[in-house]
Chain A
Amino acid sequence: MQHRKPMALALALAWVAAGTSHAQTTSAELDQIRQEIQAVKQGYEKRIQDLENRLKQAEQAAQQAQTTAKQAEQQAQSAASQAKESAKQSEKVAAEAPAPQQPASPSSFNPALSLILQGGYYNSNQNPNTRSITGFLGPGELGLPERGFSLGESEITISANVDHLFYGQATFSIEDGVIETEEAFFQTTALGHGFTGKGGRFFSGIGYENSIHAHAWDFQDDSLVQQAFLGPNFGIDGLQATWIAPLSKVYVELGAEGGKPVEFPFADSDQNHNGFQVATLFAHLGGDIGVSHSYRFGVWAMNADNNVTDQPLAALDFTGVTNTLTGGNDKLWGLDFVYKWAPNGDPSYRNFKFVAEWMQRKLDGTLTYAPGDPAQQTGSFEATQSGWYVQGIYQFHPYWRAGLRYGELNEGSYTLGSGLAGAPGLAPPDFTPKRVSAMVDWSPSEFSRFRLQYNQDKSQQGITDNQWFLQYILSLGTHGAHKF
Chain B
Amino acid sequence: MKALLSLLGLTALLAWTGPAQAVVNVFACHPEWGALASEIGGDRVSVYTATTALQDPHKIQARPSLIARARVADLVICTGAELEVGWMPVVIGQAGNDKIVAGKPGNLEAANYVQLKEVPQRLDRSMGDVHPRGNPHIQWDPHNIQLVADELAKRLVYIDPAGKAYYDSRLASFTQRWAEATKRWEQEATPLRGIPVIEHHKELTYLFDWLGMPVVGSLEPKPGVEPTSSHLTELVQQQSSRPAKLIVITTQKNPDAAEWLSGHVKIPEIALPQTVGGTPGAKDLFSMYDDAINRLLAAEKPKS
A: residues with CB less than 8 A from B are 44, 48, 76, 80, 83, 93, 96-98, 100-102, 104-105, 107-108, 161, 164, 167, 187, 189-196, 242-253, 284, 286-288, 291, 294-296, 340, 344-349, 398-399, 444-447, 476, 479-484
Given known contacts A108-B132, A251-B68, what 15 new A-B pairs fall within 8 Å (CB)?
Answer: A93-B158, A98-B107, A102-B115, A108-B133, A190-B98, A192-B98, A246-B72, A247-B71, A249-B68, A296-B64, A345-B55, A479-B129, A481-B87, A482-B90, A484-B62
Residues of B within 8 A of A286 (CB): 63-65, 68
Is there an interface contact between B86 and A482, defined as CB atoms closer than 8 Å? Answer: yes
Interface string of B152-184 (1 = CB under 8 A from A): 001101100100100000000000000000000
Is there an interface contact between B93 and A243, defined as CB atoms closer than 8 Å? Answer: no
- The answer to whether A481 and B88 touch (CB under 8 A), given A98-B108, A101-B112, is yes
- The answer to whether A193 and B62 touch (CB under 8 A), given A107-B123, A346-B252, is no
Query: Looking at chain B, what size class is its interface with the partner chain?
Result: 35 or more
- The answer to whether A344 and B86 touch (CB under 8 A), given A76-B154, A107-B123, A196-B94, is no
Kindly identify which residue among B56, B65, B89 contacts A294, using a CB–CB cutoff of 8 Å. B65
Q: How far is the CB of B20 from chain A (nearest CB, A)?
A: 16
Is there an interface contact between B68 and A102, defined as CB atoms closer than 8 Å? Answer: no
Kindly identify which residue among B95, B111, B154, B155 contacts A244, using a CB–CB cutoff of 8 Å. B95
B225 within 8 A of A: yes
Is there an interface contact between B64 and A192, defined as CB atoms closer than 8 Å? Answer: no
Instruction: Show 17 residue pairs from A and B whose CB-CB distance is below 8 angstroms, ordered by the A residue.
Output: A98-B105, A189-B101, A191-B98, A194-B96, A196-B94, A196-B96, A251-B68, A253-B67, A286-B63, A286-B65, A294-B63, A294-B65, A345-B54, A447-B125, A480-B86, A481-B87, A484-B90
Top 4 A-B pairs, shortest CB-CB distance: A286-B64, A251-B64, A192-B98, A100-B112
Is there an interface contact between A101 and B96, defined as CB atoms closer than 8 Å? Answer: no
How far, in whole Å, are A187 and B94 apart by their CA atoms in the complex? 10
Instruction: Return the chain A residue nearest B112 by Cβ.
Output: A100
B109 within 8 A of A: yes
How far, in whole Å, are A347 and B56 apart by their CA atoms in the complex? 8
Instruction: Return the chain B residue nearest A161 by Cβ.
Output: B102
Is there an interface contact between A346 and B88, defined as CB atoms closer than 8 Å? Answer: no
Kindly identify which residue among A190, A340, A446 contacts B129, using a CB–CB cutoff of 8 Å. A446
Interface centre among B62, B88, B98, B113 (most CB of A within 10 A): B98
Q: How far is the CB of B87 from chain A (nearest CB, A)?
A: 6
Residues of B within 8 A of A76 (CB): 154
Residues of B within 8 A of A97 (CB): 105, 155, 158
Is there an interface contact between A195 and B96, defined as CB atoms closer than 8 Å? Answer: yes
Q: How far is the CB of A247 from chain B (nearest CB, A)?
A: 6
B82 within 8 A of A: yes
Kindly identify which residue among A44, A98, A100, A189 contacts B155, using a CB–CB cutoff of 8 Å. A98
> Which residues in chain B, 51-96, are within 8 Å of chain A measured between CB atoms?
51-52, 54-56, 59, 61-65, 67-69, 71-72, 82, 85-90, 93-96
